[in-house]
């Protein structure tokens, strides 16, 4: 095989191979192992030297399907609770195939007016869903990290303007350090964004009143008085370990009082705005200068998908525009070019899956899903509190449940105590190796904990009950091993 031109007629057949594999794969998602370590041996089939003569279109696609459907992590399934990862709704998944089929260039209107119009529509729908003013500027990004980068780049541009500097043209030389304030909930992606922007990963001034990271409003106000100039406040809507929220309204008051830029990182917590019963968690969101969210989390669209909204729409073009290349749109171009509103110039038409899923399920569908997931998180918290060997470490606010396995007192006459942190570390590692459910560990208030996040549209109450049963089964077994008793601890839950 050689030039793909020789196999141009095989494109429909290759797509048909994927379509035929989709049904059987999707049907297995509810009950399959989230990850099967035994399938790792298949990775060898991905390697080897670069072929001199390829295997051809159909053979290569067949091989990828064979390896992928057996060895890939079932992160789109209902029992993947690690990190904060949603699945892909049927409409979003199909539209993602359409995105690849059409292969649109979405950064420049002249390349694809269709992709530009689709992005404009979905950004308007998202602002409506989240209760943000329609006047906000907006752009789609590959992720929440890119969204935070975009928002903080706009904040940096605004801040430099206050010092009489056009940072896009002249850089940071001669400027003081950008002052950034946050609670202990601030996500590492914001630090990464500041690192990329040349403002320093470790320059955030954390104002927290306890070891959970809750914001100290008085300390933040004192810091703003001390700064005596423009600053940036980062608010977290949905902290990753417990799902808790910063008080956005109170931080907006501070920002207005001291002329600061308020950025709200709402990677998954922003979706609380879609539910009347949960919207209070993001009260004041419409007062922020910038807001970010993550589509491949609770919107349940395929990777990669993020979005950012900025109050001053014009500042996005000043921070990212000015191509200064004769073959690209110039100052006289009146069309909307999304590549000039964010860090990407070459951009996939990621609006299409968002358009399809919002068109398919609408406001009421997303409200129902978000409230169902909140109910499931509350249900898991009840299971934890009812179990003698589990301990809830934080109240459930939205979709994250922070808890740990807590061993029973040692039997009479047995002096062997158990390191609870080490026990939970081992439980977390074993859960990932076991593969029936998937969730990670963290350290919350100095204690090693489990923190499943429930954001997948497929997840049901049965999956939540299974999760609790698997944790208790693995926990009891490892506890017994640590006490020197290797006998069976409990029955294995039904698959």
Same domain, 53 and 104: no
Same domain, 283 and 353: yes
Beta bridge partners of 232: 180, 261
Task: Establish how many alpha carbons lie within 13 A of residue 412's alpha carbon, considering only the half-sphere containing its beta carbon.
Answer: 0
> Which of 310, 333, 361 lies at the terminal end of a domain, its last residue?
361
The C-alpha atoms of residue 307 and residue 270 are separated, in whole angstroms, by: 11
The SS3 call for residue 235 is strand
> Which of 339, 361, 383 lies at the terminal end of a domain, its last residue?
361
- The CA-atom distances, in angstroms, between 340 and each of 83, 107, 137, 153, 256 are 31, 7, 12, 13, 29
| Residue pLDDT, tens place only, 416-450 | 678 999 999 999 999 999 999 999 999 999 999 99
Percent of the chain with pLDDT over 70: 95
* β 390-392/306-310 pair status: unpaired
Same domain, 253 and 319: yes
Eight-state DSSP code of residue 8 = G
The C-alpha atoms of residue 289 and residue 150 are separated, in whole angstroms, by: 12
Same domain, 286 and 195: yes
The number of domains in the chain is 3
Within a domain: residue 493?
no
Task: Establish how many alpha carbons lie within 13 A of residue 253's alpha carbon, considering only the half-sphere containing its beta carbon.
Answer: 9
> Which of 297, 332, 361 lies at the terminal end of a domain, its last residue?
361
What's the pTM value of the predicted model, to 2 decimals? 0.94
Query: Can you spell out the DSSP letters for 141-202?
Result: ESSHHHHHHHHHHHHHHHHHHHTT--HHHH-STT--PPPEEE-TT--HHHHHHHHHTTS-TT
Range of the domain at 208: 95-361
Within a domain: residue 487?
no
Within a domain: residue 81?
no
pLDDT grade for 493, boundaries at 50, 70 and 90: low
Within a domain: residue 289?
yes
The SS3 call for residue 444 is strand
Average of per-residue pLDDT across 188-200: 97
Same domain, 279 and 324: yes
Same domain, 66 and 128: no
The C-alpha atoms of residue 384 and residue 393 are separated, in whole angstroms, by: 10
Q: Is the pLDDT of residue 488 over 70?
A: no
Same domain, 283 and 423: no
Eight-state DSSP code of residue 335 = S
Residue 290 belongs to domain with CATH number: 3.40.640.10
The C-alpha atoms of residue 402 and residue 108 are separated, in whole angstroms, by: 44
Is the sign of the CA dihedral 71, 72, 77, 78 positive or negative? positive
Q: Is the pLDDT of residue 219 over 70?
A: yes
Average of per-residue pLDDT across 128-157: 97
Give the pLDDT score at 494: 53
Within a domain: residue 61?
yes
């Amino acid at each position: 095989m050689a030039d793909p031109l020789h196999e141009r007629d095989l494109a429909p057949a290759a797509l048909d191979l994927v379509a035929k594999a989709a049904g059987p794969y999707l049907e297995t998602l509810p009950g399959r192992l989230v990850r099967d370590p035994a399938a790792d041996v298949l990775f060898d089939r991905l390697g080897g030297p670069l072929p001199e003569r390829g295997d051809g279109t159909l053979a290569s696609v067949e091989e990828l399907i064979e390896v992928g459907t057996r060895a890939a992590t079932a992160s789109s399934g209902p029992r993947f609770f690690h990190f904060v990862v949603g699945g892909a709704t049927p409409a979003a998944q199909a539209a993602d195939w359409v995105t690849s089929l059409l292969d649109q260039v979405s950064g420049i209107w002249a390349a694809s007016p269709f992709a530009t119009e689709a992005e404009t529509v979905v950004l308007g729908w998202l602002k409506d869903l989240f209760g943000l003013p329609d006047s906000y500027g907006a752009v789609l990004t590959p992720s929440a990290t890119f969204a935070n980068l975009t928002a903080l780049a706009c904040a940096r541009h605004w801040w430099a303007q206050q010092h009489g500097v056009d940072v896009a043209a002249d850089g940071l030389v001669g400027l003081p350090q950008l002052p950034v304030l946050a609670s202990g909930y601030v996500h590492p992606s914001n630090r990464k964004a500041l690192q990329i922007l040349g403002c320093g990963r470790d320059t955030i001034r954390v104002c927290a009143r306890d070891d959970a990271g809750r914001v100290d409003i008085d300390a933040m106000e004192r810091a703003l008085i001390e700064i005596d100039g423009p600053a940036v406040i980062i608010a977290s809507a949905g902290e990753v370990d417990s799902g808790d929220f910063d008080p956005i309204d109170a931080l907006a008051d501070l920002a207005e009082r001291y002329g600061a830029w308020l950025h709200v990182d709402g990677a998954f917590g922003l979706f609380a705005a879609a539910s009347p019963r949960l919207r209070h968690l993001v009260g004041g969101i419409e007062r922020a200068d910038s807001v970010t969210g993550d589509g491949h989390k609770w919107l349940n669209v395929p990777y990669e998908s993020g979005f950012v909204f900025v109050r001053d729409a014009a500042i996005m073009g000043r921070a990212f525009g000015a191509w200064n290349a004769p073959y690209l749109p110039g100052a006289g171009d009146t069309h909307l070019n999304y590549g000039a509103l964010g860090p990407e110039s070459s951009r996939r038409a990621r609006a299409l899956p968002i358009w399809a899923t919002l068109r398919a399920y609408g406001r009421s569908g997303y409200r129902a899903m978000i409230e169902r997931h909140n109910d499931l998180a509350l249900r898991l918290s009840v299971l934890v509190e009812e179990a003698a060997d589990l301990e809830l470490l934080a109240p459930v606010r939205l979709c994250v449940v922070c808890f740990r396995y807590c061993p029973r007192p040692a039997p009479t006459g047995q002096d062997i105590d158990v390191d609870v942190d080490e026990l939970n570390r081992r439980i977390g590692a074993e859960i990932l190796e076991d593969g029936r459910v998937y969730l990670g560990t963290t350290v919350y208030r100095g204690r090693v904990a489990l923190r499943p996040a429930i954001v997948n549209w497929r997840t049901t109450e049965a999956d939540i009950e299974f999760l609790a049963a698997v944790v208790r089964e693995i926990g009891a077994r490892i506890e017994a091993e640590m006490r020197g008793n290797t006998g069976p601890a409990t029955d294995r839950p039904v698959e």
